[in-house]
A and B are shown apart, each in its own frame.
Chain A
Amino acid sequence: MTDKTSHISGGSSGAFWAVSLAPIVWIVLFFVVPLSVIWSYSFGRTLGLTEVAVTGTLDNYVRVFDPVYLLIFAKSLTFAAITTAICLIVGFPYALVMTFATPRGKILLLLGIMLPFWTNLLVRTYALMAVMRTEGWINDGLGLLGIGPVEMLHTNFAVVTGLVYVHLPFIVLPLFSTLDRLDRSLIEASLDLGAGHLRTIFQIVVPVVLPGILSAVLLCFIPALGSYLTPDLLGGPDSQMIASVIERQFKRANDWPFGAALSFMLMYLTLAAMVWRAWSDRRAGRKEAH
């Protein structure tokens, strides 16, 4: 064995490079480099249509804190938070039923939540549009009852509904996997000690699977925060989220440096959420180690 193996263990360095060279090159060239370019642009100034001078200026970030954009950030966070909360409330009982279903029932319920998840995002959003528009059959039904038509499409309500519709699987699957790993005798012990089902769920199940719930919440919150298509198609003029503003900087306003700064703000928010998660995970782990 050569000297190099003192750095690389688990196999020969030849085998290591054989399996890792291509992925490393790919990820650096087509991911790290493009993101770095955007990052450097966020400290730059537009010169021409697609020309940017990286000057090291912080102007773009200062502009992010303009009330107009702060409001959009706040709105995006609010939309994502409401979406996550609704998904959690709607998804938890579903995941619970899935956990305690027969093996066959489990597969069917899994399929039930997965099929829409695998279905094209655009198709799903379009399906909602068709249902919610003024000539859609919800309004049709309301019309029969003598109500409406209610303007549902192009409202904040439509955006949240759409976000819930799209992100429900993101929360159900991790909830299911964490509930499935829960020691069932904990529930049985609680019942055995006299607790009812609701008390057992809130005092035993939820606290015990809390790390899993936090993961699920994050897995729902992060993509909801960065949503582009749903608010774009279902929302009205006042339901814009960050992604739409970023898109405008790149495709229409042609202010790449500002768009870059905005996307990195979104990235920082995402990463902050993940770091917080990793940190609380490690804290929980440390507690257990004691």
Chain B
Amino acid sequence: MSTSPSPLSGKTLIRFENVSKRFGSFIAVDNVSLDIEAGEFFSLLGPSGCGKTTLLRMLAGLETPTEGHILIDGVDMAGIPPNRRPVNMVFQSYAVFPHMNVADNVAYGLKIDKVPKAERDARVAEALALVKLSDFAHRRPDQLSGGQRQRVALARALVKRPKVLLLDEPLSALDAKLRDAMRAELAQIQRDVGVTFVMVTHDQDEALAMASRCALMNRGTLQQVAAPGDLYEYPANRFVADFIGTINLFEGTLSTDEPDHAAVTTAALDAPIHVNHGVTGAPDARVWVGIRPEKIAMTPLDAPRPTGPEALPQANVTSGIIVTSAYLGSVTLYDVETATGTIVKVSSPNGERSANPALPTGTSVWLHWTPTAPVVLVN
């Protein structure tokens, strides 16, 4: 597993220490330790039921950990109710109070804090301007669209100037177009206000596009904590590799393992796989090789056989027949069946305009990749 890029501030704001949460016999969060730094846009990513929302709710104080400690700015949050924590949340359903207008919703938290009226009005106006709702201050929530309601929820949380803003699936209730727009806007707002954002999402695109770092969870445990690019290119295990994007996974054994390269033989392909990184696995260990579809090149079989890497010329080249193709505009996705019966997914960009951009099914093709393309996973 590789290290993440240099953090934004180096100052730890949130610390989870061996946090577990059980609901009866169900383990929602299993011994999670995690540091989140000040100023980050941190994303908790994972399939539904993986414990990411529970982790977020424990941070907000809406759930109590069964074991472990949560520290915000060095202060243990144990026993501190949600209303006395320096965090605010944007709820999945937005939870905009239906009986208050927009300005009253935003002012609610400030009234509780007994902020003087003049300052309160100024801060409400500022928050509404931030989310571009200044003209809607006196509207009632039922007169707003979903996107506008979300902005109210955002302004209402940010106006309290929390140390951490929590976002629970903030974009899931919006339609696709609005979601893309809000994605950029949320990231912009985070940069503008500089508040640490912790966002829960099941949508990997959302996490990769917005977050500075992501924690990928599965069944209550942390799988990998890394920057989006590392999560995609250097997955820590098969779950991460498979969850983020599409990947071809081949099971095999480690035949060569040097510090700067390794080779894997696999029954799935009729050629060994040569990679440019060491694995530090036991010799003959069972490993998995992952290759992203866009990292596999495809040439017609009537062209000469592509040459493999210098160290192992027979590696990283195989052949097969296209069994399905799906033209998606910018790329075409192919399923190629090799002589061993394995289906290899290949995605090739449609770089030029052409009347027949996709190769027809039944075409025999060479598949080949560079030693930098595959990643070897030991578990």
Q: Bound pair: A and B?
A: yes
- Interface segment, one of A51-59, A162-170, A191-199: A191-199
Bound form: Cα–Cα A190–B84 in Å:
12
30 contacts between A and B (CB under 8 A): A183-B93, A183-B95, A186-B95, A186-B97, A188-B62, A188-B82, A189-B89, A189-B91, A189-B95, A189-B97, A189-B153, A189-B156, A190-B108, A191-B81, A191-B82, A191-B83, A192-B60, A192-B62, A192-B88, A193-B157, A194-B83, A194-B84, A194-B160, A195-B83, A204-B97, A208-B97, A208-B98, A208-B99, A287-B140, A290-B142
A3 located at the interface, meaning its Cβ lies under 8 Å from any Cβ of chain B in the complex: no
Most central of B83, B99, B157, B160 by chain A CB within 10 Å: B83
Within 8 A of A (CB), among B147-184: 153, 156-157, 160
A288 located at the interface, meaning its Cβ lies under 8 Å from any Cβ of chain B in the complex: yes
Interface contact A288-B95, CB-CB below 8 Å: no
Other than A188-B95, A189-B156, give 12 A-B pairs with Cβ distance below 8 A.
A185-B95, A188-B82, A189-B95, A191-B83, A192-B82, A192-B87, A193-B109, A194-B83, A195-B83, A196-B83, A208-B97, A210-B99
Chain B residue nearest to A193 in the complex (CB): B109
Inter-chain contacts of B143 with A (CB < 8 A) = 290
Bound form: Cα–Cα A185–B62 in Å:
10
Bound form: Cα–Cα A196–B61 in Å:
13
Chain A residue nearest to B24 in the complex (CB): A102
CB distance from A100 to the nearest CB of B (A): 13
Inter-chain contacts of A192 with B (CB < 8 A) = 60-62, 82-83, 87-89, 157
Known contacts A194-B109, A287-B142, A288-B142, A188 near B97 by CB under 8 Å: no
Inter-chain contacts of A191 with B (CB < 8 A) = 61-62, 81-83
Inter-chain contacts of B140 with A (CB < 8 A) = 287, 290
B92 located at the interface, meaning its Cβ lies under 8 Å from any Cβ of chain A in the complex: yes
Interface contact A193-B108, CB-CB below 8 Å: yes
Interface contact B91-A185, CB-CB below 8 Å: yes
Known contacts A288-B142, A290-B143, A193 near B160 by CB under 8 Å: yes
Interface residues of B (CB under 8 A from A): 60-62, 81-84, 87-89, 91-93, 95, 97-99, 108-109, 112-113, 140, 142-143, 153, 156-157, 160
Chain A: residues with Cβ within 8 Å of the partner, total of 20
CB distance from B116 to the nearest CB of A (A): 16
Chain A residue nearest to B159 in the complex (CB): A193
A207 located at the interface, meaning its Cβ lies under 8 Å from any Cβ of chain B in the complex: yes
Bound form: Cα–Cα A191–B88 in Å:
10
Interface contact A188-B112, CB-CB below 8 Å: no
Bound form: Cα–Cα A189–B92 in Å:
11
Inter-chain contacts of B88 with A (CB < 8 A) = 192-193
Chain A residue nearest to B99 in the complex (CB): A207
Inter-chain contacts of A210 with B (CB < 8 A) = 99
CB distance from B195 to the nearest CB of A (A): 15
Chain A residue nearest to B143 in the complex (CB): A290
7 tightest A-B contacts by CB? Answer: A193-B109, A189-B95, A185-B95, A185-B91, A194-B112, A191-B82, A207-B99
Bound form: Cα–Cα A190–B82 in Å:
9
Inter-chain contacts of A199 with B (CB < 8 A) = 112
* B-contact 0/1 string along A253-290, CB 8 Å cutoff: 00000000000000000000000000000000001101
Interface contact B91-A188, CB-CB below 8 Å: yes
Interface contact A185-B97, CB-CB below 8 Å: no
Chain B residue nearest to A199 in the complex (CB): B112
CB distance from A13 to the nearest CB of B (A): 41
Bound form: Cα–Cα A194–B87 in Å:
10
Bound form: Cα–Cα A84–B310 in Å:
89
Within 8 A of B (CB), among A72-120: none
Bound form: Cα–Cα A290–B138 in Å:
13
CB distance from A133 to the nearest CB of B (A): 47
Chain B residue nearest to A200 in the complex (CB): B83
Inter-chain contacts of A194 with B (CB < 8 A) = 83-84, 109, 112-113, 160
Chain A residue nearest to B113 in the complex (CB): A194
Bound form: Cα–Cα A207–B83 in Å:
20
Inter-chain contacts of A183 with B (CB < 8 A) = 93, 95
Inter-chain contacts of A190 with B (CB < 8 A) = 97, 108
